[in-house]
Amino acid sequence: MKRYTLVLMALMSLLSAGCGVLRSVEPETAAEPPVAAVVERPASDSEKLLMYFEHVRKLSAAGLAKEYETVRQHRAQTTSDSNRVRYAIVLSVPGSAFRDDARALEALEPLLRKPDAALHSLAFMVTTQIEEQRRAQGLHQKLEALKSLEKSLIERDPGAIKRR
């Protein structure tokens, strides 16, 4: 029994010493970044175009006009799928002088007809975004028309509100 206790105590001391060695190694290993985090993978066309979308939305009016000219010229030279999406993105920026939803949707149509195209999903997303902007704009116009109608009714009969 005594011998068994001695062997058990020796094993426990070895285990605790081994854990102490492992604890001293862990912080040094954990401090080094993994190799995958250091090596950047190239962005896909979709990722590049999403970054482009973000970039375009942050441009000033003058920068946006310059970007529109550049994209328009690239599209005239090469009608690649990337150029189609880039062109549609620029054309769909709200408040720009050259905004043209119809041309943007027209540029994306060939990609929407090809479900196996690499940029089909992105073209679908941009199309949906343009259509939602159109819907919002239509609702805004309807709201403004109702406000105008209400204002004209109030001006015509100012006592109508007091009678209620």
Q: What tens digit of pLDDT does each residue of 69-108 get?
A: 999 999 999 889 999 999 999 999 998 999 999 999 999 9
C-alpha to C-alpha distance for 71 and 55, rounded to whole angstroms: 13
The residue length of the chain stands at: 164
Residue 73 carries which side chain, given as an amino acid letter?
Q
Token pair for residue 131? 């259509």
What is the tens place of the pLDDT at every residue in 8-50? 455 455 555 555 544 444 444 445 444 445 556 668 999 999 9
2 burial (CB, 10 Å; 0-12 / 13-18 / 19+) is exposed
Q: Are 99 and 92 in contact (CB under 8 A)?
A: yes
